[in-house]
Structure 1
């Protein structure tokens, strides 16, 4: 069995969630002496190993035993030879296998020093460790050696593992060994690695490099290295306006074009937490005021993508394709829940460096997410290291911490073309693509068929159902041309089509929307990947539904074009009852149905769909078989079969202006779905064409319009492309939220045909207002607003609110 466990997951599991409890501090104002360096080594050791967990209780007892068995197995299998330390990890031309060799050595070192592994202090294991370290140093990782292949292996993966081993085995390593290992790290990670902020030294990668430098300083008693590491964090903190890093709207981007809050963002979060904790109370404590941005990002950037303990796939890039991978001698699952658990542990760690109020709130949030992780509890997560597992277990047992509920609200992330919508009982995420953000990311042979993720994939979960929807072998078994919510030309694409590292970006600017923080109007000018497809798509996120509109759908590739209403993973043997227009349909795989819109559909255990039309919609039950290795060259080749229920609009071959309108009703039963379909007056579609798309729901006081061009839709008029969301409230006020998703509008007039008595507040971009029988708002240059909503609050005039 080969080690194909992801590098990022290794680093998270290795110590990303340990808590630093009372580590001794280096004496301020004096040169560090021997006991100070010992204190820093003890601090890092505690961060790596954690502490205080009951080693004789489950799941710790089994995990410790497993760790010991794994280490014993690696020691027995070690066979030093030219170009390898283990026969299956030849590193002559493959630095990934060099890095994996260091990962194995680190696992062995952890088993050697941890009590309860069965090999604690084992002399034979220590002998194998020392021989392995010497072999790796002599053959491949030493000063003067030229690196080859992936830079990451040499500058982050291998040195982080090696330095952890140096701390864990410090008392067993001779001074000559320590000096040689430090010299090797200095060779591959020189000070110049952080001299400029750019290239591979940005965002999470920069934090990882700083971690290498800091721990190198601890191991080699080199204060200059630690000082450099602390200072080199500074460029990570400020908000960015392009490329890698945290944005003011809560977006986190890595690889320039890829939303990455869930993986690289987790590395940044955990890495900063580790460094803040290591350096706290020392002369190198991170006191940069910019670090405040990281603390703010916990709830601005990370929390919106956590639900019931999972991290939404829309911000995990190519990591969604990793699935079943080999960790040491065992197969472990990587999915949205395991990525979520790493984030929870990272938030706990960062909380130790936050203020008392934030620490209390974050611990309450994490406890709530952990308690609701019913599909995949952290205690069962075999990819989670013992240190973060212990931190989460300690929190769960802490009766003084109150578990906080899931928040309710809508968040738009214009800088990474993502949105999340959270309501009591369910949550949803939306993935889009533009000139700024890639359709998908592939690279290193990963995520080979994620082509259409950014074509409007709408994912959703219920509070007590559907939490395994995308965890349960979804990515290797789903039809990649039928991701939920997308519009797509079924033109065959090659694996990795469009290029690596976020290369496939559409020539489309109008992507984004407007929100008042609870409801939203979101739109996408869609240009297909590898096809001539073009469409306008809009989503209106409301109280119990997402209203989805499509217009101007056209292509000329000689293939069928479809808009996927949903594609539900029913599991290995799911046969959830399907009702269409009140009639129960067959339940076996292989069944399909064709229906004329309008109509309604209910899928037991999930929710309902109201298909307003126009055209034909189809339903299909199928069993699909796939392998992780088909979407990720390093994945498991084991065949997996899952059943799916797919609903879609069939626009035919080469449509010349097709459209659709439907509602998604998460958690609705059949009666409520049917009633909504019959309630013709509940919602009005104000426009659904290539000028504008909009809806109004009187009972919610909601009017939302996405203007693709200047025009009129219902009571709203716009002089330039924009998105407008209006909410009338019961207190006689209303909010008008306006955004420029395309970032091209230098002047904009928005008219609302509604009596308004006064404007109570507005943004600096609002230049003038006219109230009276109609409201006219004149905005100035919105190009620098980065797609953010401009909120205007007004007092309504007239005799009554237009709410039913």
Structure 2
């Protein structure tokens, strides 16, 4: 049964989504943008009464705790008991001293000359507030075994005073990570103030508010720059709004509302949402799955808190964020997971040392938090949007067989209750898996969906970093932007990158990438997205169903260069590489795939009908192989690739190897790798292969024997192109002017053509490098008429061929220009 939502109880259950995800650390400085509006509080703000403030506290309490679930029903009863046990453990271990509240969370006396140590100190201060918040939840919730316990309340109040007097106060200078002082600590402190409001003396509430004012002054949102953009700005607004509610300060709450406005509009550079659905944070990092999740959840929380109050968010631009649910987030969610290619350094947060339960975070747990945030935001959307979004969430939940959503122990109880409400709502039909292609040109990412599988692609350019490291996190993500090709099946392979993948995979052999074996230092290239290659041609063209995507690759810390293309067709990804050249004095490899088989996986590998050894480890050349098949996954047609090798191995790693804030316990996973060995210091090496997700061995062999299914039109450092007659699809990536089959381009560009059964065709042209001041594309095929064209087409000549002349494409941001024609 769907609950009846009121303002006091509305939008509560996803309140923990942003908390569960956790905001990331220090942001890189962003380019200056327009200043945030700093208008004085609206006249109705002064009309807020004591009842209004009490109502706002009640709404936030409901958002934090959730309602509409029985504490005796599962999974809530077990989670509540676990919460009580955890809180009791924290109370028993509390031992206040000068530099800590708990001996294992030393937050005092940092050495300012040891930046890493200072970061650790400030992080442990946040963790201390987190433990107190856990204790407060156990105190106010029913079913924990500690509900209303006076000893627990006394411990919470003692802890609040101790942290204030020793660290978080108006006289303390911040140290370590700015985020700890402006977002992490005050968010948890203000939650505590709401949960324990009736038990905290007025003078202590005032002191806590003064501390928040000290670390988060109004000037923190005075301009939309630096660490006050995107998700960080939303988090700061949350702090200001709650500071106003706790301290009954209308100016603070009104400022929080007004300071949200710069987050809503689309951006063309730097942090925020782009018109193509991209989301970037830290200026250069695709971050839909981490910072974007915090932004989505935070906006939902603030809209829920302030709706119906004198401080309601009325900026009409907020619709941009609502539109982004389906435009920016949904395309990057597959069966409940959010794709790792848009989660920045969050992919390295496996088992965190700060989590006493030792629960691993992964693409599914991050995705589940976003699902809860979508449900949260839906309650403030139109009825049509609400219905669609709840259907999307139910579909994602139903298809997440690898990690059932309602068993996710990283979700807050509030988020869990909200998602259970969707699952149990019989009026909501589950939305199916969509098909189609999305190119996120502004963040160098692409997603291809078919009915039975989904793939995503991560690249890097002058605009988008190879990878992000910082705060000693994601230390070996060097090659994640070197053409990493992820893929998942509809009912299989959904734990491929979830099951300790990042802790155990060979970071030089990520699937889809071309890399030099030159050894790199941890965090090579610099923090906060500093490692950006000096290339511009990254992107492609798509008609929304099929696509041709390309990348001019320059290796991180390497002399490696290559041109890589991926042509996404019906059941296949055609992968081409050329111009692969390197002088590092080391081997260079292109990784066809690298499958995580789990702790005990023994998936069979068949090569040209011959079974390869199933026992690990082995490594062997697959000389002359035409095709390979990995049982339970899919097939690979290898006929155009030399130097193919197979590798089966068990790899052991620790999460702490890639993230110093994570657990040190070793974990082992088995891998099956197919790669093209280009040798040491190759010159103009190449590859050409097809990937067939979900294909049987028989279908793979059939495809390998069918030389007519696909023609490689060109595979050089200048042009890469293919033709697939059965799909009526031709595509070429022109890294320089040239010809591929029936397509000719006068300047670098990407072109796809798909003929349709009704006598028309769609021609798609893009300028991935954003440098074409003029361009002529010729399709040597009779065309009778141009039916539609964008304004970028200056002229179009038809007849025995189609000749399209474009004006400047430099302002199109790499977006595809679609032209529809009637064939001759």
Give the TM-score, by structure 1 length.
Answer: 0.96
Gaps of 5+ in 2: 1-15, 24-41, 111-120
Does residue 244 in structure 1 map to residue 271 in structure 2? yes
Superposition deviation, residue 635 in structure 1: 1.1
Does residue 529 in structure 1 map to residue 537 in structure 2? no
Correspondence for 1:46 among 41, 49, 62: 62
1:335-484 equivalent positions in 2, closer than 5 A: 335-484=362-511
Correspondence for 1:11 among 16, 19, 32: 19
Superposition deviation, residue 297 in structure 1: 0.6
Which whole-Å CA distance do the structure 2 matches of 1:612 and 1:512 have between them? 26
Q: 1:252 to 1:715 in 2, by over 3 A?
A: same
Superposition deviation, residue 171 in structure 1: 0.8
Q: Is the 8 A contact 1:342 1:384 kept in 2?
A: yes
Aligned to 1:578: 605
RMSD over equivalenced CA pairs, Å: 1.4
Q: Is the 8 A contact 1:27 1:282 kept in 2?
A: no
Q: Is the 8 A contact 1:579 1:603 kept in 2?
A: yes
1:189-200 equivalent positions in 2, closer than 5 A: 189-200=216-227
2:101 is paired with a residue of what secondary structure? Answer: coil
Aligned to 2:179: 152
Moved more, 584-593 or 551-560: 584-593
1:551 is paired with a residue of what secondary structure? Answer: strand
CA deviation profile, 1:569-619 (whole Å, cap 9, x unmatched): 001111111100011111011122212345100000000000122422000
Aligned to 2:739: 712
Superposition deviation, residue 289 in structure 1: 1.5
2:639 is paired with a residue of what secondary structure? Answer: strand
Does residue 71 in structure 1 map to residue 87 in structure 2? yes
1:460-609 equivalent positions in 2, closer than 5 A: 460-597=487-624, 599-609=626-636
Does residue 165 in structure 1 map to residue 181 in structure 2? no
Which whole-Å CA distance do the structure 2 matches of 1:500 and 1:327 have between them? 22
Which whole-Å CA distance do the structure 2 matches of 1:503 and 1:32 have between them? 47
Correspondence for 1:188 among 176, 194, 215: 215
Aligned to 1:639: 666
Which whole-Å CA distance do the structure 2 matches of 1:751 and 1:14 have between them? 51
Correspondence for 1:127 among 154, 161, 180: 154
2:352 is paired with a residue of what secondary structure? Answer: strand
Which whole-Å CA distance do the structure 2 matches of 1:585 and 1:12 have between them? 44
Give the TM-score, by structure 2 length.
Answer: 0.93
Superposition deviation, residue 321 in structure 1: 0.7
2:791 is paired with a residue of what secondary structure? Answer: coil
Aligned to 1:21: none
Which whole-Å CA distance do the structure 2 matches of 1:626 and 1:672 have between them? 36
2:156 is paired with a residue of what secondary structure? Answer: helix
Correspondence for 1:776 among 766, 785, 803: 803
Correspondence for 2:53 among 37, 43, 46: 37
1:752-791 equivalent positions in 2, closer than 5 A: 752-791=779-818
Aligned to 1:4: none
Aligned to 1:792: 819
Does residue 743 in structure 1 map to residue 759 in structure 2? no
Moved more, 324-333 or 401-410: 324-333
Q: Is the 8 A contact 1:96 1:153 kept in 2?
A: yes
Q: Is the 8 A contact 2:45 2:254 kept in 1?
A: no
Which whole-Å CA distance do the structure 2 matches of 1:796 and 1:596 have between them? 44
Aligned to 1:117: 144
Correspondence for 1:228 among 231, 236, 255: 255
Q: Is the 8 A contact 1:751 1:776 kept in 2?
A: yes
Does residue 696 in structure 1 map to residue 712 in structure 2? no
Gaps of 5+ in 1: 1-7, 16-25, 798-804
Which whole-Å CA distance do the structure 2 matches of 1:143 and 1:55 have between them? 39
Q: Is the 8 A contact 2:170 2:214 kept in 1?
A: yes
1:393 is paired with a residue of what secondary structure? Answer: helix
1:324 is paired with a residue of what secondary structure? Answer: coil
2:123 is paired with a residue of what secondary structure? Answer: helix
Correspondence for 2:697 among 662, 665, 670: 670
Aligned to 1:101: 128
1:693 is paired with a residue of what secondary structure? Answer: strand
Aligned to 2:105: 89
CA deviation profile, 1:382-428 (whole Å, cap 9, x unmatched): 11110001100111000000000111110001111000000011001
CA deviation profile, 1:653-689 (whole Å, cap 9, x unmatched): 0001000000000000000000000010011100000
Superposition deviation, residue 55 in structure 1: 1.2
Which whole-Å CA distance do the structure 2 matches of 1:447 and 1:566 have between them? 21
1:488 is paired with a residue of what secondary structure? Answer: strand
Superposition deviation, residue 326 in structure 1: 4.2
1:330 is paired with a residue of what secondary structure? Answer: coil
Which whole-Å CA distance do the structure 2 matches of 1:390 and 1:14 have between them? 20
2:483 is paired with a residue of what secondary structure? Answer: strand
CA deviation profile, 1:438-492 (whole Å, cap 9, x unmatched): 1001111111111000000000000010000000010111111000000011001
Aligned to 2:301: 274
Q: 1:340 to 1:393 in 2, by over 3 A?
A: same
CA deviation profile, 1:1-25 (whole Å, cap 9, x unmatched): xxxxxxx98713699xxxxxxxxxx
Which whole-Å CA distance do the structure 1 matches of 2:79 and 2:646 have between them? 45
Aligned to 2:36: none
Q: Is the 8 A contact 1:550 1:660 kept in 2?
A: yes
Q: Is the 8 A contact 1:327 1:383 kept in 2?
A: no
Superposition deviation, residue 28 in structure 1: 6.5
Correspondence for 1:283 among 289, 292, 310: 310
Which whole-Å CA distance do the structure 2 matches of 1:438 and 1:113 have between them? 45
Which whole-Å CA distance do the structure 2 matches of 1:691 and 1:130 have between them? 68
Q: Is the 8 A contact 1:104 1:328 kept in 2?
A: no
